[in-house]
Protein backbone atom coordinates (compact mmCIF):
# COMPACT_ATOMS: atom_id res chain seq x y z
CA UNK A 1 0.00 0.00 0.00
CA UNK A 2 2.90 2.40 0.67
CA UNK A 3 4.14 1.73 -2.85
CA UNK A 4 0.60 2.32 -4.11
CA UNK A 5 0.40 5.68 -2.32
CA UNK A 6 3.79 6.78 -3.65
CA UNK A 7 2.69 5.80 -7.15
CA UNK A 8 -0.47 7.90 -6.80
CA UNK A 9 1.54 10.94 -5.62
CA UNK A 10 3.26 11.14 -9.00
CA UNK A 11 0.06 12.62 -10.41
CA UNK A 12 -0.14 15.47 -7.88
CA UNK A 13 -1.57 18.57 -9.54
CA UNK A 14 -2.75 16.64 -12.61
CA UNK A 15 -6.01 14.89 -11.66
CA UNK A 16 -8.17 17.49 -9.87
CA UNK A 17 -11.09 17.33 -9.21
CA UNK A 18 -10.50 13.57 -9.16
CA UNK A 19 -8.58 11.77 -6.38
CA UNK A 20 -4.99 10.54 -6.49
CA UNK A 21 -5.04 6.79 -7.02
CA UNK A 22 -2.45 4.10 -7.60
CA UNK A 23 -3.02 0.37 -8.21
CA UNK A 24 -0.70 -2.64 -8.16
CA UNK A 25 -1.49 -6.17 -9.36
CA UNK A 26 0.49 -9.05 -7.86
CA UNK A 27 0.41 -12.83 -7.50
CA UNK A 28 0.35 -15.08 -4.42
CA UNK A 29 4.15 -14.82 -4.14
CA UNK A 30 3.84 -11.01 -4.05
CA UNK A 31 5.50 -10.70 -7.42
CA UNK A 32 4.33 -7.45 -9.05
CA UNK A 33 2.70 -8.11 -12.40
CA UNK A 34 1.74 -4.56 -13.33
CA UNK A 35 0.91 -1.20 -11.84
CA UNK A 36 -0.91 1.92 -12.87
CA UNK A 37 -2.05 5.31 -11.64
CA UNK A 38 -4.66 7.86 -12.53
CA UNK A 39 -2.32 10.07 -14.57
CA UNK A 40 -4.51 13.03 -15.52
CA UNK A 41 -8.10 14.20 -15.28
CA UNK A 42 -10.20 12.46 -17.90
CA UNK A 43 -7.70 9.63 -18.32
CA UNK A 44 -8.03 5.99 -17.28
CA UNK A 45 -8.38 5.23 -13.62
CA UNK A 46 -5.48 3.53 -11.85
CA UNK A 47 -7.04 0.05 -11.83
CA UNK A 48 -7.81 0.21 -15.53
CA UNK A 49 -4.25 1.29 -16.36
CA UNK A 50 -2.81 -1.53 -14.23
CA UNK A 51 -5.09 -4.12 -15.83
CA UNK A 52 -4.63 -2.98 -19.43
CA UNK A 53 -0.83 -2.90 -19.18
CA UNK A 54 -0.57 -6.40 -17.65
CA UNK A 55 1.23 -8.86 -19.90
CA UNK A 56 -0.36 -12.03 -18.47
CA UNK A 57 -3.65 -13.61 -17.49
CA UNK A 58 -4.97 -11.95 -14.32
CA UNK A 59 -7.25 -14.75 -13.16
CA UNK A 60 -6.50 -15.59 -9.54
CA UNK A 61 -4.36 -12.50 -9.00
CA UNK A 62 -4.74 -9.69 -6.42
CA UNK A 63 -4.99 -5.94 -6.86
CA UNK A 64 -4.25 -3.33 -4.21
CA UNK A 65 -5.57 0.21 -4.60
CA UNK A 66 -5.60 3.13 -2.17
CA UNK A 67 -9.21 4.06 -3.00
CA UNK A 68 -12.27 1.89 -3.46
CA UNK A 69 -12.77 0.91 -7.15
CA UNK A 70 -15.57 2.88 -8.80
CA UNK A 71 -18.84 1.26 -9.84
CA UNK A 72 -20.35 3.96 -12.08
CA UNK A 73 -19.87 5.38 -15.55
CA UNK A 74 -18.04 8.71 -15.58
CA UNK A 75 -15.41 9.64 -18.14
CA UNK A 76 -14.41 5.95 -18.06
CA UNK A 77 -16.35 2.71 -17.42
CA UNK A 78 -16.58 1.19 -13.90
CA UNK A 79 -13.30 -0.27 -12.62
CA UNK A 80 -15.17 -2.78 -10.46
CA UNK A 81 -16.70 -4.36 -13.58
CA UNK A 82 -13.31 -4.70 -15.28
CA UNK A 83 -11.82 -6.31 -12.16
CA UNK A 84 -14.65 -8.88 -12.16
CA UNK A 85 -14.34 -9.45 -15.91
CA UNK A 86 -10.61 -10.22 -15.68
CA UNK A 87 -11.06 -12.79 -12.92
CA UNK A 88 -9.05 -11.04 -10.21
CA UNK A 89 -9.69 -12.93 -6.97
CA UNK A 90 -8.77 -10.38 -4.29
CA UNK A 91 -9.08 -6.61 -3.91
CA UNK A 92 -7.26 -4.74 -1.12
CA UNK A 93 -8.56 -1.20 -0.57
CA UNK A 94 -7.16 1.61 1.55
CA UNK A 95 -10.34 3.64 2.04
CA UNK A 96 -13.97 3.85 1.01
CA UNK A 97 -14.71 6.41 -1.71
CA UNK A 98 -16.44 9.43 -0.06
CA UNK A 99 -18.26 10.18 -3.33
CA UNK A 100 -21.94 9.35 -2.58
CA UNK A 101 -22.25 7.76 -6.04
CA UNK A 102 -19.74 5.12 -4.93
CA UNK A 103 -19.43 5.13 -1.09
CA UNK A 104 -19.07 1.38 -0.53
CA UNK A 105 -21.08 0.28 -3.55
CA UNK A 106 -17.95 -0.62 -5.52
CA UNK A 107 -16.73 -2.96 -2.79
CA UNK A 108 -20.19 -4.50 -2.44
CA UNK A 109 -20.30 -5.22 -6.18
CA UNK A 110 -16.95 -7.00 -5.92
CA UNK A 111 -18.10 -9.05 -2.92
CA UNK A 112 -21.30 -10.02 -4.73
CA UNK A 113 -19.15 -11.37 -7.56
CA UNK A 114 -17.32 -13.65 -5.10
CA UNK A 115 -14.15 -11.56 -4.89
CA UNK A 116 -12.36 -11.39 -1.55
CA UNK A 117 -12.27 -7.78 -0.31
CA UNK A 118 -9.87 -6.47 2.33
CA UNK A 119 -10.60 -2.94 3.53
CA UNK A 120 -8.89 -0.17 5.50
CA UNK A 121 -5.22 -0.96 4.85
CA UNK A 122 -3.19 2.15 5.88
CA UNK A 123 -6.49 4.00 5.94
CA UNK A 124 -5.15 7.14 7.67
CA UNK A 125 -2.37 7.51 5.11
CA UNK A 126 -4.88 7.02 2.29
CA UNK A 127 -7.22 9.64 3.75
CA UNK A 128 -4.32 12.10 4.05
CA UNK A 129 -3.31 11.45 0.44
CA UNK A 130 -6.78 12.45 -0.76
CA UNK A 131 -7.62 15.09 1.84
CA UNK A 132 -8.67 17.50 -0.96
CA UNK A 133 -11.10 14.99 -2.45
CA UNK A 134 -12.57 14.02 0.94
CA UNK A 135 -13.28 17.67 1.84
CA UNK A 136 -14.78 18.33 -1.60
CA UNK A 137 -17.11 15.34 -1.42
CA UNK A 138 -18.22 15.77 2.20
CA UNK A 139 -18.39 19.57 2.51
CA UNK A 140 -18.71 20.79 -1.10
CA UNK A 141 -15.93 23.27 -0.36
CA UNK A 142 -12.29 23.57 -1.39
CA UNK A 143 -9.55 22.30 0.91
CA UNK A 144 -7.68 25.37 2.19
CA UNK A 145 -4.09 25.45 3.41
CA UNK A 146 -2.51 28.55 4.90
CA UNK A 147 1.18 28.67 3.98
CA UNK A 148 3.49 31.05 5.78
CA UNK A 149 7.19 31.89 5.96
CA UNK A 150 7.88 33.18 9.47
CA UNK A 151 10.66 34.09 11.86
CA UNK A 152 10.94 32.29 15.19
CA UNK A 153 8.80 35.05 16.72
CA UNK A 154 6.06 34.49 14.13
CA UNK A 155 6.67 37.50 11.88
CA UNK A 156 6.13 37.47 8.10
CA UNK A 157 7.37 40.99 7.33
CA UNK A 158 8.83 44.13 8.88
CA UNK A 159 6.62 47.01 9.92
CA UNK A 160 7.30 48.51 6.46
CA UNK A 161 6.14 45.23 4.81
CA UNK A 162 9.57 43.99 3.72
CA UNK A 163 9.61 40.17 3.60
CA UNK A 164 12.35 39.09 1.16
CA UNK A 165 13.77 36.75 2.18
CA UNK A 166 12.81 35.26 5.54
CA UNK A 167 13.49 31.68 4.50
CA UNK A 168 16.30 30.24 2.40
CA UNK A 169 16.41 28.83 -1.14
CA UNK A 170 15.77 25.25 0.07
CA UNK A 171 12.49 26.34 1.66
CA UNK A 172 11.48 28.29 -1.42
CA UNK A 173 12.06 25.19 -3.56
CA UNK A 174 9.70 23.26 -1.26
CA UNK A 175 7.09 25.99 -1.79
CA UNK A 176 7.26 25.40 -5.54
CA UNK A 177 6.38 21.74 -4.95
CA UNK A 178 3.38 22.82 -2.88
CA UNK A 179 2.21 25.24 -5.58
CA UNK A 180 2.29 22.39 -8.07
CA UNK A 181 -0.07 20.35 -5.87
CA UNK A 182 -2.85 22.92 -5.39
CA UNK A 183 -5.49 24.07 -7.84
CA UNK A 184 -5.04 27.71 -6.82
CA UNK A 185 -2.96 30.21 -4.88
CA UNK A 186 -4.98 32.88 -3.07
CA UNK A 187 -3.65 36.25 -1.98
CA UNK A 188 -4.91 39.69 -1.08
CA UNK A 189 -4.53 43.13 -2.63
CA UNK A 190 -2.04 44.19 0.05
CA UNK A 191 0.39 41.42 -0.88
CA UNK A 192 0.13 42.43 -4.56
CA UNK A 193 0.92 46.07 -3.72
CA UNK A 194 3.82 45.43 -1.36
CA UNK A 195 5.45 42.28 -2.78
CA UNK A 196 4.25 42.19 -6.42
CA UNK A 197 4.58 38.37 -6.52
CA UNK A 198 4.30 36.25 -9.66
CA UNK A 199 2.73 33.25 -7.83
CA UNK A 200 3.97 30.89 -10.52
CA UNK A 201 5.33 27.37 -10.10
CA UNK A 202 9.02 27.30 -10.93
CA UNK A 203 9.49 23.60 -10.23
CA UNK A 204 10.86 21.56 -13.14
CA UNK A 205 7.92 19.82 -14.77
CA UNK A 206 5.45 21.71 -12.57
CA UNK A 207 2.38 23.61 -13.63
CA UNK A 208 1.11 27.01 -12.56
CA UNK A 209 -1.84 27.03 -10.16
CA UNK A 210 -4.77 29.37 -10.81
CA UNK A 211 -3.96 32.79 -9.34
CA UNK A 212 -6.70 34.30 -7.17
CA UNK A 213 -6.66 37.82 -5.75
CA UNK A 214 -9.15 39.21 -3.25
CA UNK A 215 -9.39 42.93 -4.04
CA UNK A 216 -12.43 44.64 -2.54
CA UNK A 217 -12.14 47.92 -4.47
CA UNK A 218 -10.09 46.73 -7.48
CA UNK A 219 -7.24 48.87 -6.21
CA UNK A 220 -4.39 46.72 -7.56
CA UNK A 221 -2.41 47.80 -10.60
CA UNK A 222 -3.44 45.98 -13.76
CA UNK A 223 0.24 45.63 -14.69
CA UNK A 224 1.11 43.65 -11.53
CA UNK A 225 3.06 40.44 -12.17
CA UNK A 226 0.21 38.28 -10.89
CA UNK A 227 -1.96 39.47 -13.80
CA UNK A 228 0.52 38.50 -16.52
CA UNK A 229 -1.17 36.75 -19.43
CA UNK A 230 0.97 33.58 -19.51
CA UNK A 231 -1.85 31.12 -20.18
CA UNK A 232 -2.59 30.66 -16.49
CA UNK A 233 -6.12 31.27 -15.28
CA UNK A 234 -6.38 34.46 -13.17
CA UNK A 235 -9.38 35.34 -10.98
CA UNK A 236 -10.12 38.49 -9.01
CA UNK A 237 -12.82 38.46 -6.35
CA UNK A 238 -14.01 42.05 -6.01
CA UNK A 239 -16.60 43.76 -3.84
CA UNK A 240 -20.18 43.99 -5.02
CA UNK A 241 -19.98 47.81 -5.25
CA UNK A 242 -17.19 47.89 -7.82
CA UNK A 243 -18.25 49.63 -11.03
CA UNK A 244 -18.38 47.84 -14.34
CA UNK A 245 -16.28 50.63 -15.87
CA UNK A 246 -13.45 49.81 -13.42
CA UNK A 247 -13.73 46.11 -14.27
CA UNK A 248 -13.28 46.92 -17.96
CA UNK A 249 -9.92 48.52 -17.21
CA UNK A 250 -8.44 45.08 -16.45
CA UNK A 251 -7.06 42.78 -19.18
CA UNK A 252 -9.71 40.58 -20.80
CA UNK A 253 -8.04 37.30 -19.74
CA UNK A 254 -8.79 38.04 -16.07
CA UNK A 255 -12.02 36.66 -14.62
CA UNK A 256 -13.56 39.17 -12.22
CA UNK A 257 -16.35 38.06 -9.90
CA UNK A 258 -18.29 40.37 -7.61
CA UNK A 259 -18.86 39.21 -4.04
CA UNK A 260 -20.99 40.49 -1.20
CA UNK A 261 -19.28 42.45 1.57
CA UNK A 262 -19.03 41.92 5.31
CA UNK A 263 -17.82 44.88 7.39
CA UNK A 264 -16.86 46.61 4.13
CA UNK A 265 -14.57 43.76 3.13
CA UNK A 266 -15.13 40.75 0.92
CA UNK A 267 -17.18 38.10 2.69
CA UNK A 268 -14.57 35.34 2.67
CA UNK A 269 -17.09 32.53 3.15
CA UNK A 270 -19.02 33.62 0.06
CA UNK A 271 -15.77 34.10 -1.88
CA UNK A 272 -14.68 30.54 -1.11
CA UNK A 273 -18.04 29.20 -2.34
CA UNK A 274 -17.64 31.20 -5.56
CA UNK A 275 -14.20 29.67 -6.10
CA UNK A 276 -15.58 26.17 -5.53
CA UNK A 277 -18.31 26.84 -8.08
CA UNK A 278 -15.57 27.93 -10.50
CA UNK A 279 -13.99 24.49 -10.17
CA UNK A 280 -11.23 25.14 -7.62
CA UNK A 281 -10.97 22.17 -5.25
CA UNK A 282 -7.78 23.02 -3.33
CA UNK A 283 -6.43 26.44 -2.40
CA UNK A 284 -3.18 27.52 -0.75
CA UNK A 285 -2.98 31.02 0.68
CA UNK A 286 0.08 33.23 0.38
CA UNK A 287 -1.21 36.41 1.95
CA UNK A 288 -1.09 38.80 4.86
CA UNK A 289 -2.16 38.39 8.47
CA UNK A 290 -5.59 39.99 8.22
CA UNK A 291 -6.76 37.75 5.38
CA UNK A 292 -5.32 34.67 7.09
CA UNK A 293 -7.15 35.69 10.25
CA UNK A 294 -10.47 36.01 8.37
CA UNK A 295 -10.07 32.55 6.84
CA UNK A 296 -9.32 31.04 10.25
CA UNK A 297 -12.09 32.98 11.99
CA UNK A 298 -14.64 31.69 9.48
CA UNK A 299 -13.36 28.13 10.08
CA UNK A 300 -12.46 27.70 6.43
CA UNK A 301 -8.80 26.71 6.86
CA UNK A 302 -7.99 23.01 7.07
CA UNK A 303 -4.23 23.08 7.38
CA UNK A 304 -1.35 25.37 8.33
CA UNK A 305 2.10 24.89 6.81
CA UNK A 306 4.77 27.09 8.39
CA UNK A 307 8.29 27.50 7.06
CA UNK A 308 10.13 28.75 10.14
CA UNK A 309 13.51 30.45 9.81
CA UNK A 310 15.96 30.72 12.74
CA UNK A 311 15.66 34.50 12.86
CA UNK A 312 14.18 37.01 15.29
CA UNK A 313 12.62 40.28 14.18
CA UNK A 314 11.80 41.38 17.71
CA UNK A 315 9.53 44.22 16.61
CA UNK A 316 6.04 44.44 18.10
CA UNK A 317 4.88 46.37 15.04
CA UNK A 318 6.21 43.82 12.55
CA UNK A 319 3.60 41.83 10.62
CA UNK A 320 2.34 38.49 11.94
CA UNK A 321 0.92 35.68 9.80
CA UNK A 322 -2.45 36.03 11.57
CA UNK A 323 -3.53 39.32 13.13
CA UNK A 324 -6.54 40.77 14.90
CA UNK A 325 -8.00 37.95 17.00
CA UNK A 326 -7.88 40.04 20.21
CA UNK A 327 -7.78 37.07 22.54
CA UNK A 328 -7.94 37.85 26.25
CA UNK A 329 -7.49 34.33 27.62
CA UNK A 330 -5.17 31.49 26.65
CA UNK A 331 -8.13 29.10 26.51
CA UNK A 332 -9.57 31.25 23.69
CA UNK A 333 -6.71 30.29 21.37
CA UNK A 334 -7.41 28.44 18.14
CA UNK A 335 -6.31 24.84 18.67
CA UNK A 336 -4.31 22.93 16.09
CA UNK A 337 -2.72 19.50 15.94
CA UNK A 338 0.86 19.20 14.72
CA UNK A 339 0.99 16.33 12.25
CA UNK A 340 4.58 16.57 11.02
CA UNK A 341 7.85 18.46 11.26
CA UNK A 342 10.75 18.44 8.83
CA UNK A 343 14.21 19.95 9.12
CA UNK A 344 15.50 21.48 5.90
CA UNK A 345 18.94 23.01 5.26
CA UNK A 346 18.47 25.66 7.94
CA UNK A 347 14.70 26.19 8.24
CA UNK A 348 12.04 23.81 9.51
CA UNK A 349 8.55 23.00 8.23
CA UNK A 350 5.77 22.55 10.77
CA UNK A 351 2.54 21.09 9.39
CA UNK A 352 -0.59 21.42 11.54
CA UNK A 353 -4.29 20.69 11.13
CA UNK A 354 -7.01 22.98 12.45
CA UNK A 355 -9.29 21.58 15.15
CA UNK A 356 -12.45 23.68 15.22
Q: Point out the residues that are catalytic.
A: 47
Report the SS3 class of residue 305: strand
Q: How far is CA 147 from CA 33, 187, 208, 342, 343, in A?
A: 40, 11, 17, 15, 16
> 3-class secondary structure for 337-356?
EEEEEEECCCCEEEEEEECC
Report the SS3 class of residue 12: coil
d(Cα 50, Cα 228) in Å, to the nearest integer? 40
- 8 A C-beta contact, residue 309 and residue 154: no
- 8 A C-beta contact, residue 319 and residue 157: yes
- Sign for the CA dihedral angle at 272, 275, 279, 283 comes to negative
Amino acid sequence: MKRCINLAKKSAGRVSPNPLVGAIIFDDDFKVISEGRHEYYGGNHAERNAILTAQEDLRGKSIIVNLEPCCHYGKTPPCADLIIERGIKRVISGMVDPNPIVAGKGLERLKSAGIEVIQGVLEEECLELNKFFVKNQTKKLPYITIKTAVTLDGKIATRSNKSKWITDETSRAEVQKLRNSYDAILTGSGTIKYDNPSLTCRMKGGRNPVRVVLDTNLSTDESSKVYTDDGTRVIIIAGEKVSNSRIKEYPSHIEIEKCKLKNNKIDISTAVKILYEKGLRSIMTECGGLLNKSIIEEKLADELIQFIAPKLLGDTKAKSFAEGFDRNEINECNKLKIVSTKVLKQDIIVNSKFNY
